[in-house]
Structure 1
Amino acid sequence: MKVATVLGVDIGTSSSKGVLVDAAGRVVRSATRSHEVSRPRPGWVEMDADVWWQEFVSLSRELLAPGDAEVVAVGVSGMGPCVLLTDAANVPLRPAILYGVDTRSTAQIARLNDQFGEEEILRRCGSALSSQAAGAKVAWVADNEPELFRRARRLFMPSSWLVVQLTGRYVLDQHSASQCTPLYDTRSEDWYAPWAEQIAPDLVLPPLSWPGEVAGVVTAHAAAEAGLPPGVPVITGTIDAWSEAISVGAQGVGDLMLMYGTTMFLVHTVASPLTSPSLWGTVGALPGTRNLAGGLATSGAITGWLRELFGSPDYPELLRLAEASGAGARGLLMLPYFAGERTPILDPDARGVLAGLTVSHTRGDLYRAALEATGLGVRHNIETIEAGGGDIRRVVAVGGGTQGGLWTQIVSDVTGRDQVIPSQTIGASYGAAFLAARTEWDVSIETWNPVKEIRTPRRELAADYDELYGLYRELYTSSKRVAHALAARQVRLLAAGPPVASDNRGTEGVAP
């Protein structure tokens, strides 16, 4: 007899992951497909949407190949907010523009702020315009690729792209829509037509649904391609970080999810809507919930970049060297702004800085400094969340970076916060599977994914990290002018020559 399972697939920045999960929450099988993003110009990060569906098909077929499992529902999630524009027949018109790591829309942000008013955008949309805002990137395409934009009729993100391929339904989840600033009104939980019509008058914005609601069923064509049974329900899905939060049960008021991945994401669930000019106020993944969220533009991307520079040693070896380096990385301090920075500084022209370097420093010191830099960035976000009215009562960690223990320990040491480490940290694909399971079974995430351990800060390091944090904050202020000048120089140098070929260093791998 075949085991009844749900299929969860997540399309991430550096890989796609799929899981088959049974009714008890046990992972029957999992699989991963690595991929690369394209960085054709400084500040541009794109991806071909065909890869998303091809990898879904490949994952589905591999997971179902043994023939011992029956899929009863499908869950999807993906990085976001992204901007994939297609014509009316769902044919992509250009590569998808990715989330806040793509910083091309600076001019559009300034124009839209002048046009609609910064305070009014924050009040209506929940978030200030930043590199994270999908609506500003839609405006960039309209401004810079007008002939292409005249043919654009539909807007997709990775999760909704999988849904349309699987079911034929054009739909987007409420949470993803709330990151399409300034196209969405968080108060009415609907598209805001007056602004949408000015930014994209011919774009037919998708109908909205909640992430766990059934979007449609697998068509005969999709079933044949992906090896799935036809007629199986498919949920609407959502952005990966919010699916990660679902996967570890970080949905209660006061919870803060830390997602350790290529980037670092923070999602705090609040009792009532909050806005902050330095963070993202969004609707949650579950009906009736609200979040105050933030994100570092790079975290695992830096550790992957360093690993490649070091000749690709195993991550356990790098972690051993970093642990031997000790707190403070023997006098090194890094700013992790290697792709600009999202929250809380919202500075697309920020750049990475490594201060205190001498010829005596080692690979372990540099790797330790990178792990500590993400911890310092998390602390900055936590302080900003609480200053904005958040009330953080519990921190839950998830993602590939939770493996090995050192990274989560450093973040706890730097922030002074306990972190709950659940039994299953595979992340967004597991959260998507759970939402799909709820359409068929009576399940709870507490039963599916109980707590495994608590990471506790080492109080003897508090004074050292307090001092380092003060220097971290000062280093950004003191180096900002130079970083911005170098960012401008990078743009000028590129304009003088051909586009840079993407080798994607810094996007592969997440340190455990």
Structure 2
Amino acid sequence: MSLNAVLGVDIGTSSSKGVLVGLDGTLLRSAVREHTVERPAPGHVEMDADVWWDEFVSLSRELTAPGDAAVVAVGLSGMGPCVLLTDADDTPLRPAVLYGVDTRSVAQIARLNEELGTEEIRRRCGCDLTSQAAGAKIAWIADEEPGLFARARRLYMPSSWLVRKLTGAYVLDHHSASQTTPLYDTNALQWYAPWAERIAPGIELPPLRWSGEAAGTVMAEAARRTGLPAGIPVITGTVDAWAEAVSVGAHQVGDLMLMYGTTMFLIHTVPGLLTDPALWSTVGALPGTRNLAGGMATSGAVTGWLRELFGDPDYAELLRLAEKSGPGANGLLMLPYFAGERTPVMDPRARGVLAGLSLSHTRGDLYRAALEATAYAVRHNIEALEAAGGDIRRVVAVGGGTQGGLWTRIVSDVTGRPQELRTTSIGASYGGALLAAQLVTDASIDAWNPVRHTVTPSPDATERYEELYDLYRALYPATARVTHALAARQER
């Protein structure tokens, strides 16, 4: 007799991940499909939506092929906020414009701030316009590709596009909508028609639901393509980082989730609406929750870049060398702003800096400096969260970067804060699977994914990092004029 199970799929920046999970939380199988983003111009980061659906189909078929488990529900998540515009027939008009790593909308942000008012945008939407704001990217398409925009009728993100392909439903979750600034009213929990009609004329914005609500059921044609049973429910889904938080139970007031991935994301659950121009204030993935969030433009992307430069050695070898280097990376200090920076710097023209190089430095020192740079940036974000009124009582880590132990240990040492690690750290796909399971059973995160280990900071290491953190904070203002000039040259 086959087990009942749920399928969870997440569409990420560098790969799509799928998991097949028993209704008791047991991970039965997992699979990955790697992909790359398109960078057609400086500051532009895009992806073809066909990749999302093709990889979902491939993952679904691989994970269900053995036939030993009956899939009873589907969970979805994806990177975001993204902007995929389609015509009236749901044909994509161009590749999707990705989230805050895409910095093309600087001029539109300035114009919308002037026209709508920075304070009024913050009051109504909960945060300022930044490179993360999907509404500003819609405005860019309208300005720069007016003929294409005139044909646009619908707005999708990765999870909602998969919902459409699977069920035929056109919906979006409240959290994703809250990142379409300035189209969504975070106080009223609905689209704000005056600004939506001004910025996205002609586009029928999707009806809104909560992430774990059923969007619909798998259609017969989608079942044929994917190998899934027709008629099973599919959740509405959400942005990957928020699904990651669900996967480790980090959605109680006071919780902070650290997502270790291609980029680093921080989600702090707060009791009510808090706003700060250096952070993002969003509606949570679950009803009744609010978040202050931060995100870096790069983290694992930098370590991956270094690995490629080094000739693709195993990550285990690089971690061994970085461990040998020791705290402070033998006098190296890095700014990890290789693709600009999001919170709390909010500078799309920031660039990476490696300070203190000498002929004696090794690959281990460089790799250690990259890990430490991310840790300093985490601390910078934590300080911004608390300055904005946050009250961080518990830190939970998740994502591929938690493997190996060194990166999480460095972050705890730099921040002086312990981090909980749960048994399963796969992340968003597992969180989507949990939400799907809750459609058909009373699954709970503590039963599915109990705490396995707590990373505790070393007082000696924390003390050593104090002076280095002060130097890190001084490095950006000391080099910004030069790096901005270089960024301008890169954009020519």
- The aligned residue for residue 35 of structure 1 is 35
Q: 1: CA distance between counterparts of 2:115 and 2:481?
A: 28
1:122-161 paired onto structure 2 within 5 Å = 122-161=122-161
- Please state how far the C-alpha of 1:424 moved relative to its aligned partner: 0.4
- The aligned residue for residue 362 of structure 2 is 362
- Please state how far the C-alpha of 1:296 moved relative to its aligned partner: 0.5
Aligned length: 492
**SS of structure 2 residue aligned to 1:32:** strand
- The aligned residue for residue 504 of structure 1 is none
Q: Aligned AA for 2:368?
A: R
Q: Does residue 92 of structure 2 align to residue 102 of structure 1? A: no
**SS of structure 2 residue aligned to 1:222:** helix
Q: Does residue 396 of structure 2 align to residue 396 of structure 1? A: yes
- The aligned residue for residue 431 of structure 2 is 431
Deviation string, structure 1 residues 279-332 (Cα, Å, up to 9, x no partner):
000000000000000000000000000000000000000000000000000000
**SS of structure 2 residue aligned to 1:285:** coil
- The aligned residue for residue 373 of structure 1 is 373
- The aligned residue for residue 316 of structure 2 is 316
- The aligned residue for residue 410 of structure 2 is 410
Deviation string, structure 1 residues 466-500 (Cα, Å, up to 9, x no partner):
111111111000101111111111111xxxxxxxx
Q: 2: CA distance between counterparts of 1:345 and 1:192?
A: 28
Q: 1: CA distance between counterparts of 2:352 and 2:189?
A: 37
- Please state how far the C-alpha of 1:461 moved relative to its aligned partner: 1.5
- The aligned residue for residue 483 of structure 1 is 483
- Please state how far the C-alpha of 1:463 moved relative to its aligned partner: 2.3
Q: Aligned AA for 2:8?
A: G
- Please state how far the C-alpha of 1:458 moved relative to its aligned partner: 0.7
Q: Does residue 352 of structure 2 align to residue 352 of structure 1? A: yes
Q: Does residue 335 of structure 2 align to residue 335 of structure 1? A: yes
Q: 2: CA distance between counterparts of 1:230 and 1:294?
A: 39
**SS of structure 1 residue aligned to 2:114:** helix
Deviation string, structure 1 residues 139-169 (Cα, Å, up to 9, x no partner):
0000000000000000000000000000000
Q: 1: CA distance between counterparts of 2:365 and 2:436?
A: 43
1:193-342 paired onto structure 2 within 5 Å = 193-342=193-342
- The aligned residue for residue 166 of structure 1 is 166
**SS of structure 2 residue aligned to 1:162:** helix
TM-score for both structures, normalised by structure 1? 0.96
- The aligned residue for residue 111 of structure 1 is 111
Deviation string, structure 1 residues 384-440 (Cα, Å, up to 9, x no partner):
000000000000000000000000000000000000010000000000000000000
1:73-88 paired onto structure 2 within 5 Å = 73-88=73-88
Q: Aligned AA for 1:452?
A: R
1:38-57 paired onto structure 2 within 5 Å = 38-57=38-57
Q: 1: CA distance between counterparts of 2:79 and 2:237?
A: 11
- The aligned residue for residue 65 of structure 2 is 65
Q: Aligned AA for 2:103?
A: T
Q: Does residue 188 of structure 2 align to residue 188 of structure 1? A: yes
- Please state how far the C-alpha of 1:88 moved relative to its aligned partner: 1.1
**SS of structure 2 residue aligned to 1:439:** helix
- The aligned residue for residue 449 of structure 1 is 449
Unaligned runs of 5+ in 2: none
- The aligned residue for residue 509 of structure 1 is none
TM-score for both structures, normalised by structure 2? 1.00
**SS of structure 1 residue aligned to 2:58:** helix
Q: Aligned AA for 1:404?
A: G
Aligned residues with identical type, % of pairs: 74
**SS of structure 1 residue aligned to 2:440:** coil
Q: 2: CA distance between counterparts of 1:167 and 1:47?
A: 22
**SS of structure 2 residue aligned to 1:343:** coil
- The aligned residue for residue 89 of structure 2 is 89
